Amino acid sequence: MAMSKISKLLVLILIAAHEFIYAQQKAIFIILDGISADALEKVETPAIDAIAKAGGYTRAYTGGIRDAYNQSPTISAPGYNHVLTGVWSNKHNVWDNSIKEPNYHYWNIFRIAKHAKPDMKLAIFSTWQDNRTKLIGEGLEAAGNFKFDYAFDGFELDENQFPHDADKQYIFDIDENVSKEAARYIREHAPDLSWVYLEYTDDIGHRYGDSPEYEKAIQLADAQVGRIRDAVQIRQTQFGEDWMVVVTTDHGRDPQTGKGHGGQSDRERTVWIATNAKNLNGRFGQGTAAVDIMPSLLRHLKINPAEEIVRELDGVPFNGAIAVANASATLSDDGNKIELNWSVLEGNSKPEVFLSTTNNFKTGGKDNWQRMKNQSATPGRCTIDVSKYPSSFYKIVVKSRNNSINTQVLKNN
């Protein structure tokens, strides 16, 4: 009897230890369309607040770096794709909602996840089908013949079930449908990585601008987030899974009326991120960008993309250890020197600097990266002698032990 009790206890301890050590990492990101940070902060949003309370909330920027080579429009589809790919429009090549020629050489998070761990279960719940068929490029050879394990979308094309009305009530109904199914599916199946996209807030923003109607729409979206959060909480408590939740938006709104977006005003460029992640680092709340979400989710899922992908990522993880961020470079007039600057976020490691005069990655090829001497004694800056590599274009990577950042520089004429 005693032995059996002890062995039963042992088994229980082993199970608990196993769950503790091997708690399954899961992640979900939710994009609520077109909610300016000021509006979100003004309106009562208990579900988003609860997520942020477990981790954090910050404003962030979208649209690339203003006036730089990677400046990107504050438009929906480019905004989603910044989140999906961790790079700006100059790389993923989505400039508007027509998504004419996305550059699939810059892999999205789902493709990277499936490639790294083919057993991962991936899901999308979306009020806009183009997110799956065009941005992700599901089933397209050029996009890696990627396939979701579960997709719930396309209802905006079903005018029988969701007759279109001028007030866009049907979009709200689809958001309801999508968020309810996301909650059900997560509760029952817990996909490893999911994207939920809800649209109604942007439609109301376009129609009414800054208004009580818009604020009401934000509250309705928050309730939809709450539904999904409840499902995640059930998984966490009943199954001991380790979930990272990110809620964000794709762009802000124009400063005059709030009806439009697409430009480069602060208000249009300002987005926000709420997450339950507990291991936030110095990047969160300091220069945080929409492109940071993708590498942060990958980090939570313990996925390390291939080095050539990492070298291209414009985002920096806002969880876990990082050392460097915000690379920028200028080329001297004679073309012999590059002045390179970056932010030193943590630690005093001396990062490695790599240089390429080609951009073959953009067309699916390989670049010839040269390791350059970083002799600078000043943390966060160095001068690179490029006289041996004459070129009108340079890609530069600053690689620390914990993360890599990159920038580009073009010769003036």
Q: Using CB under 5 A as the criterion, which residues of the chain lie in contact with Zn ion when the complex forms?
A: 33-34, 76, 202, 250
204: which 2 tokens?
């109301």
- Cβ 202 to Zn ion shortest distance, Å: 5
Q: In this structure, are residues 395 and 355 in contact, taking their beta carbons and an 8 Å threshold?
A: yes
- Cβ 39 to Zn ion shortest distance, Å: 14
Q: Which of 94, 103, 104 is nearest to 74 (CA)?
A: 94
343 contacts: CB under 8 Å, gap ≥ 6: 287, 324, 325, 326, 380
Strand partners, 409: 394
The residue at minimum Cβ distance from Zn ion is 76
- Cβ 86 to Zn ion shortest distance, Å: 19
Residue with smaller CB distance to Zn ion, 32 or 355: 32
Residue with smaller CB distance to Zn ion, 162 or 197: 197
- Cβ 46 to Zn ion shortest distance, Å: 23
- Provide the phi-psi class of 355: left if phi over 0, else alpha when psi is between -120 and 50, else beta: beta
4 contacts: CB under 8 Å, gap ≥ 6: none
Residue with smaller CB distance to Zn ion, 201 or 276: 201
- Cβ 128 to Zn ion shortest distance, Å: 10
- Cβ 59 to Zn ion shortest distance, Å: 17
Strand 381-385 and strand 25-32: the pairing is unpaired
d(CA 8, CA 19): 17
Residue with smaller CB distance to Zn ion, 34 or 73: 34
Residue with smaller CB distance to Zn ion, 204 or 245: 204
Measured torsion, CA atoms of residues 201, 204, 206, 209, in degrees rounded to the nearest 10: -100
Residue with smaller CB distance to Zn ion, 111 or 251: 251
